Structures are given as structure tokens and as C-alpha cells.
Amino acid sequence: MKFVWSWVKKDPLLAGLILLATVCAVWRQNPLVREITKEHDLVEQKSKLVTISYYYPNFAYFSDIVSGVQKPKKEWMQGYYFGKPYIFHQYYEKAAQLLPDNDAAHFLLGFCEYYMEAPDIARTQYEAALAANPYFFWSYYNLGVIDFQQGDFLKSAMVLTQALALKKLTLEILFQSPFYRQIWRNLSDPPKTLEGNLNQGAQDAALMLAACYLKVKAYDQVLQIVQSVTSGGGHPWHQELWEEIHKQALQKQSQDDKFYILLQERIPVRLF
Amino acid sequence: MKNTYVKWAFIIPLLWWVYLFFTTQIVVVFDAASYEDLGKMIVHQGWGEFFRTGPNREPMFPALVALSMNLGAWWGISYYYPLKMIGTLFLLLTMVFSYRLMRMLAIPRALACLAVFYLGISPVMTNSSMRLWSEFAVYPWVVLVVLWTIKSWRALDHVSDDRRGMFKVIGYGVMLAFLFLLIMSVKAVAEGVLLFYLWPFYWLIFSSWRSGNFLKAKHVAMFCLTVLLVFEGAVNIYKWENYQANGHFVFTARGDWFLYGNTACRMQPLSLRRLGAAVAYVPGLGVCPSIFGTDDCDFWSDRHAEDVAQQKRAESQAKGMTEEALSKEYIYSSARMVLANPLQAVMLWTVEAHKIFFWESSIAFVAYPDWLEGIFYLPWFMNALKIIFAFLSWSGCVFAFCYLGFARLIRRQNNPQDAVLFWTLNFIFWFAAMYALFFVIDRYAFPLISLFLVLIAFMVHKIVRAWVK
């Protein structure tokens, strides 16, 4: 004891630091402190969900969009009072802000931003969604649509190619994410509707991809896509557009602008 | 032994706050989100922007949020923690001032400690002190106003007739005005409260003058003038700043339209069923919808009042009315409606004012650990707590009123506690009355909780003493 005391008197700074480190170590190992720290972390997570829950919109409208009953409208993406039915933008904005790693929050915010006439913000949200989860078809699809509409055909082709490889995983993601569940649980037959939409999305993606290749004069790729679509056995959507593309690719000619405008009108950004 | 009570009445709540400080999280929604935005605005763009984008909310709470943000950035932590520290510090001050007020009422130490202890651990007080809503910033000043008024009231009896005495009177007045300004900078309703709260001083001027005590009349008049001039001076400077920056000569944005909306709802023809719904709406807890159905109850909701005011705004804007003219129209229309049927107005104000008693259990906007949430969201427990404390608060006020009446009419003698009791009641009355003109939301009652607990403790003390005798 005497030795310790004489040492402390000799080097009080070092002794103080050692004492502080010991107290900190004991403090952190203290079961009560550990319990409080654990509770703090849990409550922090919970507070984010509670905050988001205050912005709950009426999801029936988004469900109607998925089932094709409604079309997305700008004025329905935002509301000003809690309790009014449509405040999707605020809801997903808050969700994306508090849960930055949640791909669904970014994806759905991107959808709102697009229909609120902010395609560039929508693009950043889709990119954030893909950074958090690169296996979701619809993020690529919508990003591809935006690029297509903005005339960036090479980029669109790249993104849509990735989209077409991800059909199977997408359904799994849709069924697992709570944010998507809030929307599809109102549907009468969710698996059927979601799978049907996915197939239609894939057809549209293929059509856009072919159109992109046609624009950049990659005629062989166009013919390859046309062949794979028609050899699938099913009757492709937008039959007359496919025929146009096929004809032009055979003649090694690009389409005029009217065709692309028509395509842009027919293929919208989709929810899922 | 005596000191042990006091020690534990403060130490246990302190330990409780430490636990809550580390485990709870603020939920930023609705008003809290706007306070957060204002705080950010002050930090990043300064007060100039606060005024330019105004009229905004009352300034003190955004200033506290901005201070917390600066402290949080300095310490490298979320600004919620400094804000919670400020909240608990304010709560601690409220406990200290309330304890002092109770001791002035000669409430035994043990009972005063129990009341202070409850103030420190009450779900609603701890909840409101640890969230991003402005109420907690007014708690200590309310009790301090009552304490300082009592001090001034007593001091004005013994002021010498010289320059020193005059300075003393002015000093008391300046301090009271300053305390009211602190309340005003959180709750703008204080502007109306002050004018009526001082009525005993006005009466004192008159009675002193009538009884020939001109010196006292002069001192009290000087005191009132100082309070009103300093207070109104500062408030009008603030309003002028708003006018210069954003063209609105107001302290805060809300008020006129909300007054109109509520008055227009209340002055509708009143059936027995509608009156019943108004009374049943007072306690909240879903009492009204369970008896009268949602349609009758929604009529008395703040949202309905907002809709009525919005409708008036839309009509006036269609006629090309400016914002300033609309603001005046809101106030004049409200006054016209009230004067057309003052009895109904007073009756419904009285009903509305009773909402102020239902303060306990109004907890929200804080995320708690699961076990605590399990207790705080137990409906039967929290509803029971709400009803018990509403009853006690109401009884405390009525008891204090009767006690004072008894003192005046039957005892015909003044106790030193009478002034304390009187000023406490006077503050509660005018605060509730001012809010009743608009709409009483449960959180508006929070600043009065400490005063309610003081009156409850006083009532319990007197009843127990009478019982023991």
C-alpha cells in the first residue's frame, strides 16, 4: 500500500490516467450500465419506427395503383395534415431519412418524387435503393425508364439488362419487406397481381432495351432480344411496337423520334 | 430526519431522470419537427432569417433547440441530449420553486416533499421535459411569477417614501415583467394573462386611494405601470421586429384565426345534445364518442375549428381581402358573435376551461424502453391516474377558493398563507381563462401542474389536520 501511495505521489498524472481507465473499464462492464446501453440502442431503433408511424398514409391508394385501378397523380403524393388520406411523400421521406439503409423506403420515395415531377431526385433515390439492395428488379426498371425518358439510351440499356436478370429475387423481396407489405396486403390476390405486374414489367423492360439498342444501332442485340421474346411462346405486349422494332432492325435502320415518344407514353415508372 | 425527506424527494427523481435520459428517445413529429427546423434555421442562418420567414413560433424554445444543437455539435453528440439536460434542469428548478411555495403555505415538510417527489417522477412531467415540445421551457417561470408576485404584494406595504423606495418598487415591477416575458417567449397567451392577473393591484390602487393612503396608491400604481410598460415595451419591440422583417405586427403566427374558428363553433345554436357532447368532450379518453358518437364530438374538436377558420379564410380571400384585414375581421367577427349571446359564450368557456384539469397521462412523442411503455400505455392505469389527478386538481382549486372565501367572510382575518393561495389561484384562473377563449389541449395545462400539486398538497394538509383535531 505504501509503495502504491509513494508511486502515486511520484507520478500523479499516470496514476490518474490508470485510475480513469480502470473506472471506465469497470463502468462499461457494470451489468446495470450494459443493460441501460442495450435498452438505449433498442429504444433508438424503436423511436425511428414510432416517428415514421406518425406519418402513416392510407395505403389503399397505392394498392389501387398496383392493381391498376388508379393511376399515380401528383396531387395525391402529398398532403398537409395528419389524418388526411394521402401523405405518401412525407411518409417515405421520413422513412428514408431515418432508415437510410432501407432500400424499400428509398424506392418508394423515388416513386413519389417521380410523380411529383422531380425525376432527378427520383433517380438519386433509386440509386440509393440499389446501393442498399442491388437485387430488386423494379429499382433497375424505374431507373431505366427515367434514363430512357431523358434520352440516355446507353445507360438505360445497361440498367435494363441488369433488371431482366432479377425477376425471381424480386418477388421474395416484395413479400419480405414491411414497407412493400403495407401496400400489397390490401390486394385481393397479392402473389398473382405481383407476379403479373412483374411479367409485364419484364416485357416492357425488354421492349425498352430493344429500343435502346436500336437507337445506338446495335441491330444484332435487337434481333436477339426480339427472338428471345417471341420464342418464349407467350404473346408479347405492345405487339405492333415489337413488329416495328423487328422490321427496323432487319433493315438496319433506326426509329424516328415519334416512335420513342410513343414508347415513353406507353411505358411509365411503376410501383411494382 | 426532516432533511432526509427533502434529500430523497430530489435524489430519487434525479436518478430516475438519469435512467430516462439514457434510455428514452425523442420522437420528432408535428410541432417538434417545426421546432427542429427553426432551431436549424437559427444555427445556420441566424435570427435574421427567423424573423424574415416569420411570424414564427414564440422564440425561447427555438432558441433552446438552437443552443442544444450548438452544444451537441461541440460535444459530438445528438442535440437531443443537451435538450433533455435543459428540460430536466427546468424541471429541477420547478421542483425547487414549488417546494418553496408549499413551505410558504405552511404545508408540512413531509407532504411538500411528497408533492415535489411526484412532480419529479410524474409520467407527464418527465415525458414533457424530455421531448421536443415547448411546454417545459415555461414550468419554472410560472411558479417563480407566483412567488415574485407574493413578494411584491407584501413588499408594497412597507415601501418608504423616498427615492430608494421608488427604485425598490420599480425593481419589483421590472422583475415581474421580466418573468412574464420569459413565459411570453414560450406561450404568447401570457400577454392576455398579465393584464388580468394584475387586477388585485388595480383594486389596491383604488382602495388605497379611497381610504386616503395616497402613498401606497402611488407605489402600487408605479409598480403596475412599470410591469406593463416594461412588458408591453419588450413585446412590442419584438412585434415591430416581426413587422420590419415580414410585415406582420404580431408576436406569433397563430391566434386570430384559431379564436375565430373556436368562437364560431361555440356560438352555433346549442341543443341539449350538443351541450352534452361539449361536456363529455372535456375529459378526453374517448368518453364523448362512446356516448354521443363521433359526429357530435367532432363538432367540438380543434380540427373542426380549424376547418371553420379555413373556410372563412377562403371566402375572404375570394373577396380579395388582405391578410391584415382578415386578421382584424377574425377578431371583430369573434367579438360580434360573443356579444350576440354572451351567456352561451361564458358557459362554453367555462366548460372548455375545465379541460385544464385533465393533465396527467398525456404522454407522447417519446420512445420508452418496453417495460416502461407497458406501464405508460396500460389504459386502465393511465386513465385512472388521469381521472384521480383531474379530480384532485379541481378539488384543490375549489378548496382553495372556499378557504379564501371563508377567510375573508367568516374568519375576517388575514393569514400569511392567504396571499400565497390567492395568487396561485389567480394565476391558474387567468391562464385557464385565456386558453378557454381558444381551445384547451391537454398539454396547455402542463405549465400549471406544479401549481395544481401545491393546491392539492394544501388541501390534503388542511383536511388531515382537521381530521386529526
Give the residue from chain A lying closest to B368, CA to CA.
A43
Task: Give the H/E segment covering residue B25.
Answer: strand B25-26
Same-domain check for residues A45 and A170: no
pTM as predicted? 0.84
If asked whether residues A47 and A76 sit together in one domain, one would say: no
Both A77 and A124 in one domain: the answer is: yes
Handedness of CA B54, B58, B61, B64 (dihedral sign): positive
CB B105 within 8 A of CB B454: yes
Average pLDDT of chain B to the nearest whole number: 92
Residue A80 has pLDDT above 60, yes or no: no
Residues A8, A136: one domain? no
Instruction: Using an 8 Å CB-CB cutoff, list chain A residues near B27.
Output: 47, 50-51, 54
Residues A66 and A147 in one domain: yes
Residue contact A43–B303, C-beta within 8 A: no
Instruction: List the single range of A60-64, B2-6, B221-225, B411-415 with lowest mean pLDDT.
Output: B411-415
Highest-scoring range by mean pLDDT, A47-51, B159-163, B197-201, B411-415: B197-201
Percentage of chain A with pLDDT > 90? 23
pLDDT of A236 > 70? The answer is no
What amino acid is encoded at A47 in this protein?
S
Residues A127 and A5 in one domain: no
Q: Quick one: closest CA in B to A42, which residue?
A: B369
Looking at CA atoms only, how far is residue B367 from chain A in angstroms? 5
DSSP B247-297: S--SSSS-SHHHHHHHHHHHTS---HHHHHHHHHHTT-TTHHHHHH-HHHH
Residues A116 and A251 in one domain: yes
Q: Are A25 and A64 within one domain?
A: no
The residue of chain B nearest to residue A32, with distances taken between CA atoms, is B19
Q: Which positions in chain B touch A52 (Cβ < 8 Å)? A: none
Kindly list the residues from chain A whose CB atom is less than 8 angstroms away from the CB atom of residue B28: 51
A112-116, A204-208, B193-197, B408-412: the lowest-pLDDT one: B408-412
- Residue B343 pLDDT exceeds 50: yes
Residue B303: list chain A partners with CB under 8 A.
Answer: 83
Q: CB-hemisphere CA count at 13 Å for A245?
A: 33
Chain B interface, best mutation among A35, A47, A48, by max B CB count within 10 A: A47
Helical H segments across chain A, by residue range: 2-10, 12-29, 31-53, 60-67, 88-98, 103-115, 119-132, 137-149, 153-164, 167-176, 178-184, 190-215, 219-231, 239-250, 257-266
Within a domain: residue A165?
yes
What pLDDT, on the 0 to 100 scale, is given for residue B168? 94
Residue A81 has pLDDT above 50, yes or no: no
Interface list for chain B against chain A, based on CB atoms closer than 8 Å:
19, 22-30, 303, 366-370
Question: Last residue of a domain, which of A53, A76, A94?
Answer: A53
pLDDT of residue A235: 58
- Do A11 and A140 have their domain in common? no
Distance from CA of A82 to the nearest CA of B (A): 9
Query: Within a 10 A sphere around the Cβ of A211, how many other Cβ atoms?
Result: 27
pLDDT digits (tens, 9 = 90+) for B311-322: 888 888 888 888
ipTM of this predicted structure: 0.75
Find the domain containing A148 and state its range: 59-266
pLDDT at position A233? 57
Option in A36, A37, A50 nearest B367 (CB): A50
What residues of chain B lie within 8 A of the CB of A83, using their CB?
Answer: 303
Domain-embedded: residue A272: no
Distance from C-alpha of A236 to C-alpha of A244, rounded to nearest angstrom: 13
Residues of A with CB under 8 A from a CB of B: 36-37, 39-40, 42-44, 46-47, 50-51, 54-55, 82-83
Average pLDDT over residues A84-106: 85
Q: Chain B partners of A36 at a C-beta cutoff of 8 Å?
A: 19, 22-23
Q: Do A51 and B28 lie within an 8 Å CB cutoff?
A: yes
Chain B residues with CB under 8 Å of A37 CB are 22
* A102 in the same domain as A63: yes
Handedness of CA A254, A255, A257, A262 (dihedral sign): negative
Interface test with A, best of B15, B19, B23, B132 (most A CBs within 10 A): B23
Bridge partners for B25 per DSSP: B367
Nearest to A83 by CA among B18, B306, B440: B306
The distance of B180 to chain A (nearest Cα, Å) reads: 33
Residue B2: its pLDDT value, please? 61
Whether A43 and B30 lie within 8 Å, measured CB to CB:
no
Contact yes or no for B22 and A54 at CB 8 A? no
Which of A185-199, A224-238, B168-182, B445-459 comes out lowest in average pLDDT? Answer: A224-238
**Mean pLDDT over the full length of chain A:** 83
Round to whole Å and give the CA distance between B295 and B313. 24
* Cβ within 8 Å, pair A36-B19: yes
Q: Which residues of B94-112 are buried (b: 16+ CB within 10 A; e: fewer)?
A: bbebbbebbebbebbbebb
Question: A32 and A148, same structural domain?
Answer: no
- In a mutational test of the B interface, the residue from A32, A51, A81, A84 whose CB has the highest number of chain B CBs within 10 Å is A51
Decide if B26 and A46 are in contact by the 8 Å CB cutoff.
no
Note the pLDDT tens digit of each residue in B187-203.
Answer: 999 999 999 999 999 99
Question: Which chain B residue is nearest to residue A51, measuring alpha carbons?
Answer: B27
DSSP-derived letter for residue B26 is: E
How many independent structural domains does chain A possess?
2
Q: How distant is the Cα of A182 from the closest Cα of chain B, in angstroms?
A: 21
Domain boundary residue among A30, A53, A76? A53
A43 and A63 in one domain?
Answer: no
Which of A32, A33, A39 to probe the B interface (max B CBs under 10 A)? A39
Task: Measure in Å the smallest separation between the Cα of A55 and chain B Cα atoms.
Answer: 8
